[in-house]
Chain A
Amino acid sequence: MSITSDLAQQLVTLSGDLDQLYMDLVSDGQYGLANQVSQAESDLKQAATNLYSMDIDDQINAVAGAANQLTTLTSDISNSAAKLAASQARIAAISGIVSSILSVVSDLGTGNIAGAVSAAGQAAGLIGKA
């Protein structure tokens, strides 16, 4: 436990004690004083809350280097995955070209010149994209 969070815990304990005082003052009908004690108690809790928050900020700042390194590494991993996915896309493009060439051959074999021309155009387009 850090000094900050330890202090926060002590403030919480103190505010509990002040609450008892608040109740005693209310019982005695000293509402003005009760109001002041209530305000002090509220301030203590607010301070404790802020100290806990401050402790979180301190903890996170202390590991900022590790967090940023992990972020960079995450980005590198994502880039690697993207490169592999791009390679897969290139294989898909080549498959498309081979497929179109096969169509050309097939159409030529059956005398479908129009189909062969269309398939050849498609293949040329795919080669351009690949």
Chain B
Amino acid sequence: MKDSSKATRSRQILRTARCSRAFVIAGALLVLGASCNQSNTVDLTAVQKMVAATDSAAPTYAAISGDFFGSCKRARIWELTGKWLPNTSFTAPTLGSLGQLSPSEAAKLPKPLLAEYQKEVAAYTKAMKDYNAKVAGWNALQKSVASKTTKAENSPQPTYQPPTPAASTPSSAGKPAATTTSIETPPPFGGADVCAEAAYSSQQWQKLNVALISYVDALGHLAAVGSGTASTYGFDTLGNSLTASKLMSASQVSAVQSALTEVSNNIFAAKSREQIAKYAPQAQQDVGVIIDTLERIADVDYRGLLDIERLDIDQFYQDNLLVTSPGLQSLETLPYRQQWVGDISALDAKVAAINAYRTSLEALRTAHEKLVKESVSHDVDLTSAATAFVAEYLPSLEAIDKAFATPAKSPAAPTPKPKGA
């Protein structure tokens, strides 16, 4: 009995000793983990926060760069359909009662009436000649417009490959970021498709967007490496085995498991920080140059194309209302005038999206500059910088999304009523 009691006590002492070792090990690991955590400067949570915000940028940026082509196409259709002046503005000449007589009947008329008849027929013949010329001119114009409109509508839409979203788990952290840009030689001008060059430029613009977003995305993959769970390192399986072997209690296993995960994360986070601190400064200049270029493309070239579209919308309504107004009461033109205002408002939203795009790029530039500064110094508060970035960046993206949420309307020429109707 005594022996059995001694053995039980020995086992208890042994178990206590094992447990103490486990806690000592866990404690040592935590200290090691904490020291790893302090030896680096880049705040990985802040980087992840920034990347989470830029993840949603790819489709938004694709919308604005794709609209360079979209604007070209819309402007073309506005312009071409704007020339569809109605045939009903021509009224075929009619003969008076005398002119409707046959020549044999007219020959029986008294001389004064015969002269009146001849005068009426001559006027009618001349009016018919003018009428036929007008109709022929309009038919030729419409045929030409129709063929161009068809060409514009059949223009191919550019397709985009948005970057792969940043992984939230370290297991997928090794996935390569989306394929980025390779600058191509532009195709020769000309050809049947009037917006082919614009389509090409849209794609190039988006490739440059993707080059920037992919870089930020890759930083996100790197930052995510230090945020694994017990299963990332197989500590969950190990814990189960320890529990099953009865070397430790479940709570002790849980404590060791947490400590091991934290230490491992700290070690990987430290490596991740080192890599970010190595790469971010190298990218700084290129990021700046690319942001400058993207802003200029949006502000000058895309804005210029929207100006052409605005001109075409205005001309469409001016031309059509001018031609149809004589046949329309003022109130009847009201829907067309309201539609005009609506179409210009939609265009204004796209112009505003340029400013939002620039704001988002500037926020990205500032955040990256702070990331670079923090990677070499402890002075920068990247957490606050990331919060400020998200607060500025996401609303900018929302503003862009809003401008492109509604598909652009195809211009529809007002259907004027015939004169005098």
Interface residues of chain A, those whose CB is within 8 Å of chain B, are: 1-2, 5, 8-9, 12, 15-16, 19, 23, 26, 29, 31-32, 34-35, 38-39, 42, 45-46, 48-50, 52-57, 59-64, 66-71, 73-89, 91-96, 98-100, 102-103, 105-106, 109
Contact = CB atoms under 8 A, between A and B. Distances in A.
Contacts of A50: 189, 197-198
Given A26-B323, A39-B144, A48-B304, 12 more contacts: A12-B311, A26-B85, A45-B79, A57-B204, A59-B301, A71-B214, A80-B279, A81-B174, A84-B225, A85-B170, A85-B172, A92-B232
A71 B75 CA distance: 34
B173 A19 contact: no
Contact of B175 (A45, A78, A106): A78
B293 A63 contact: yes
Given A70-B215, A91-B233, A92-B234, A52 B301 contact: yes
Given A49-B75, A76-B279, A77-B219, A57 B201 contact: yes
Interface majority SS on A: helix, strand, loop or mixed? helix
B290 A45 contact: no
A56 B205 contact: yes
Contacts, number: 249
Given A50-B189, A88-B170, A102-B242, A55 B301 contact: yes
Q: Give me the 3 closest cross-chain CB pairs, A-B, nearest first.
A: A95-B234, A82-B174, A85-B174
A59 B297 contact: yes
A5 B176 CA distance: 37
24 contacts: A5-B301, A16-B311, A29-B134, A31-B134, A38-B83, A45-B75, A46-B194, A50-B198, A59-B301, A63-B289, A67-B207, A67-B208, A70-B287, A73-B215, A73-B286, A74-B215, A74-B218, A77-B219, A78-B175, A91-B264, A92-B234, A94-B234, A96-B237, A99-B234
B138 A5 contact: no
A38 B171 CA distance: 61
Contact of A53 (B197, B287, B293, B315): B197
Contact of A60 (B189, B197, B204): B204
Given A81-B218, A82-B176, A88-B268, A67 B134 contact: no
B213 to A, nearest CB: 10
B113 interface: no
B323 A92 contact: no
A28 to B, nearest CB: 12
